[in-house]
Structure 1
Amino acid sequence: MGKNVTTVTEEMVQPILEQMDLELVDIEFKKEGKNWFLRVFVDKEGGVDIEECGRVSEQLSEKLDETDPVEFPYFLEVSSPGAERPLKKKEDFRRHVGHRVYIKLYEPMEGEKEIEGDLTSFENDTATVEMKIKTRTKTFEIPYEKIAKARLAVSFN
Structure 2
Amino acid sequence: MRGKTAEDLRLLELLDPVAEAAGYEIVRLRLMGGEHVRRLQIMAERAVDGDMNVEDCARLSRAISEVLDAADPIAGEYTLEVSSPGVDRPLTRLKDFETFEGYEARVELDRLAEGRKRFKGLLAGIDGDQVAIDLEGEEETALIPFAWISDAKLVLTDELLKRGAEIRAARVQSDQPTSE
Other structure's SS at 2:64 match: helix
- Does residue 93 of structure 1 match 2:97? yes
More helix by share: 2
For residues 15-26 of structure 1, the aligned pairs below 5 Å read: 15-26=17-28
RMSD between aligned residues: 2.6
Count of aligned pairs between the two proteins: 152
- The alpha carbon displacement at 1:16 in A equals 3.5
Counterpart in the other structure of 2:43: 41
Match of 2:69 among 65, 72, 75: 65
String of CA shifts for 1:12-70, please: whole Å, max 9, x gaps: 43343223322111111010696200111111325200111011112211221122222
String of CA shifts for 1:74-122, please: whole Å, max 9, x gaps: 1011111112322222222233222221101223333442111111121
Q: Percent identity?
A: 29
The TM-score with structure 2 as length reference comes to: 0.71
Contact residue 124 and residue 141 of structure 2 kept, 8 A? no
More strand by share: 1
**Match for 1:139: what amino acid?**
T
CA distance in 2, matches of 1:138, 1:83: 28
Other structure's SS at 1:48 match: coil
Runs of at least 5 residues in structure 2 that lack an aligned partner in the other structure: 1-5, 160-180
CA distance in 2, matches of 1:83, 1:70: 30
Runs of at least 5 residues in structure 1 that lack an aligned partner in the other structure: none
